[in-house]
Amino acid sequence: MEEVIIATKNSGKAKEFERIFQAKGIQVKTLLDFPEIEDVEETGTTFEENAKIKSETIANLLGKMVIADDSGLEIDALDGRPGVYSARYAGQQKNDEDNIDKVLTELKGIPNNERTGRFRCVLAVSQPGKKTVTFAGACEGLILTERRGTNGFGYDPIFFVEAKQKAMAELNPEEKNKISHRAMAIKKLEENFTPNNGAES
């Protein structure tokens, strides 16, 4: 495999995929390279459903193998929210800062030991004429009471990784890409995916 197409318009995700795949000699293209392709509506109720909707739509459109990533932050004290609504938690404008503010407000007064949560990522791989296959990854953490660090994207500044004693946004890209939910899902994909998976459509 020399090139992969990742069906994402999120530049933070795109950078992580580029870094991880380029280290393996694989070129990454994302939907940022295809500005004419419109947003795919994420009508599913699970990460898996949404990842499949994105990969199948774009694979059909381009006639090539496509990988999609649906991901988000699940917070126990909020019954799993923002979950699949992570990108648009504070509204359709998809603003990371507004989303973080909303989570911090909702968690006001919740003690540290109850601020558990996890990032989840489901990767879906679609090839024309074949069944879509999926790979999931997760990364456990605690939700901080204020922002720390400036690396990464999305909710990284308020996600505390206990093993590192740092916020995700305080880790450099290599460190994040060793432990993240996305890294875990990519690892599973590498270990289990061959282009013959999902043989019949």
Ligand X SMILES: O=P(O)(O)OP(=O)(O)OP(=O)(O)OC[C@H]1O[C@@H](n2cnc3c(O)ncnc32)[C@H](O)[C@@H]1O
Phi, psi of 143 (to 5 degrees): -90, 120
* 132-163 CB burial, b ≥16 within 10 A, e <16: bbbbbbebebbbbeebbbebbbbbbbbbbbee
In this complex, which beta carbon is closest to Mg ion, that of residue 42 or of residue 175? 42
- Strands 159-161 vs 166-167: parallel, antiparallel or unpaired: antiparallel
- Segment contacting ligand X by CB under 6 A, of 55-63, 128-136, 146-154, 190-198: 146-154
Per-residue interface string for the shown chain with Mg ion, residues 68-87, x marking contact by CB under 5 A = -------------------x
Q: How far is the CB of 155 from ligand X (least distance, A)?
A: 4
- Segment contacting ligand X by CB under 6 A, of 19-27, 105-113, 149-157, 183-191: 149-157
Tokens of 29: 């293209």
137 binds ligand X per the rule CB under 6 A: no
DSSP class of residue 5 equals E
In this complex, which beta carbon is closest to ligand X, that of residue 105 or of residue 194? 105
Q: Which residue is nearest to ligand X (CB)?
A: 154
10 binds ligand X per the rule CB under 6 A: yes
Q: What, of Mg ion, ligand X, none, does residue 86 touch, CB below 5 to 8 Å by kind?
A: ligand X
Please state whether the peptide bond connecting residue 157 to the residue before it is cis, i.e. omega within 30 degrees of 0: no
Rounded to whole angstroms, how far apart are CA atoms 123 and 137? 9
Rounded to whole angstroms, how far apart are CA atoms 24 and 27? 9
Per-residue interface string for the shown chain with ligand X, residues 98-117, x marking contact by CB under 6 A = -x------------------
Q: Which residues are catalytic?
A: 70
- Which residues within the stretch 167-196 sit at the binding site for ligand X (CB under 6 A)? 180, 182
Tokens of 51: 């990842």
Q: How far is the CB of 174 from ligand X (least distance, A)?
A: 14
State the CB neighbour count (10 A cutoff) for residue 169: 20
Strands (E), 81-165: 116-126, 133-143, 159-161
In this complex, which beta carbon is closest to ligand X, that of residue 16 or of residue 196? 16
Contact residues: ligand X, CB under 6 A = 8-10, 13, 42, 69-73, 86-87, 96, 99, 119, 152-156, 180, 182
